[in-house]
Amino acid sequence: MNKKQLSVRLQGEPVGILEQTVTGKMIFSYDSSATQVVSVGMPIREQPYNDARCEAYFGGLLPESDTAKKAIGMQYGISHGNSFALLKAIGYDCAGAISFHEMSEPVVSQSSVTLEGKIVTEEDLYTHIKALPKKPLFLGFEGLRLSLAGVHDKAAVCIIDGKITLPIDGCPTTHILKPAVSAFEGIVENEYVCLQLAAQIGLPVPHVEIRQAKEISYLLVERYDRRIQNNKIARIHQEDFCQALGVVSARKYQNEGGPNFLDCFNLLRDTTQPAINRNKLAEAMVFNFFIGNMDAHSKNFSLLHTTPSQLELAPFYDMLCTRFYPSLTAKMAMKIGSKYEADRVLPKHWEQLCADIQYAYPALKRLISAQGEYILKVMTENKAFYTDVTKNAFIVNALVERITKNIIRILEQFQD
């Protein structure tokens, strides 16, 4: 019986072999010549990594939605629960610099490739977006073989000279396209405003813009794990915190056994600049609390392997006000102190958290006060800009009002 194996490559260079055993389990072994890790949680060693670790890292590259996995399974005639088969089918362009290939496929370095894509008309793009629920990741169009983690419908595209294109000849994608969701009014505008706000107060976030395909609005997010120069594109390796900590995507929430803030802050101790990265994460944690983002789980934070020896906290993403939607939970993905319920968090719970993560509470108090005041100032000064760009004054005004009330309530708790 032939072994079921995939060549695992970073920037096109082989680093190891992912194998599916006769029992359906996955094991991963590094090549003897490997010099770069696929994950900080999987250092280079001779002993293979078992199925649990493989499912956490490699399975974490796949969409989380069962609906999306079933659609992919139908397309390729494979089981939607078979991570190995799914990676074989769509694992050519994943998050970071990793890709999956047949063992016999020639090795072609992808450290830098020509940026190439086929222009998509607005009509075709509209058709593709409408079909996303049944064809996730633009499945089946132009022979695309790409994967993105996450629950909601999205796709990856190339932007060339400002135009939407679908990649050709193995070109990596440059942007993520996130369309409007009918169940959540204004979600595109919501995420746009929150990410713009984050950028304006100094948080590292990707460049975003809002575009239209007929009546469908969508958010276009520039990929931070890609670098473009002189019409050449290079992949930069990355992994989310769940992957780095060996936690499967299904357990990304703390109350389901997933990582907590202590795990996240401890993970940064092994980065190139741990103190700077821990401060950045603290800023993002406070920002998410201020804007009412209850879904800031551990797959929404990532590490960036900028070089084989340099590890950084990646720019922040998926920042939006989930409290804007009454149907969504008021419980946070990771608790602060002893509380999951945001409305029950008091200064003493922040103090508990600081003790847990070994972060100076006086410094965090100063951060909360300064950032809260700064957000209020920036929102006031930029509300007309947000309205002009989003073309949706109703959503912007309601969103700003919701965030403003939340910040004022929090700041009042810290007044001496």
- Residues with a catalytic annotation lie at 295
Locate the DSSP E strands across 223-336.
226-229, 232-235, 237-240, 302-307, 310-313, 331-336
82: left (phi over 0), alpha (psi -120 to 50) or beta: beta
Could you tell me if 228 and 23 are in contact, meaning their C-beta atoms sit under 8 angstroms apart?
A: no
3-state secondary structure at position 49: strand
Of residues 94, 317, 320, the one with CA closest to residue 206: 317
| Two tokens, residue 187 | 């979600």
**Rounded Cα distance, 342 and 297, in Å:** 14
3-state secondary structure at position 332: strand
3-state secondary structure at position 351: helix
Could you tell me if 402 and 205 are in contact, meaning their C-beta atoms sit under 8 angstroms apart?
A: no
Could you tell me if 159 and 175 are in contact, meaning their C-beta atoms sit under 8 angstroms apart?
A: yes
| Two tokens, residue 360 | 């100076």
**Rounded Cα distance, 162 and 169, in Å:** 20
Please classify residue 292 by burial: count the beta carbons closer than 10 Å to its beta carbon, then call 0-12 exposed, 13-18 middle and 19+ buried.
buried
Report the 10 Å Cβ neighbour count for 111. Answer: 12
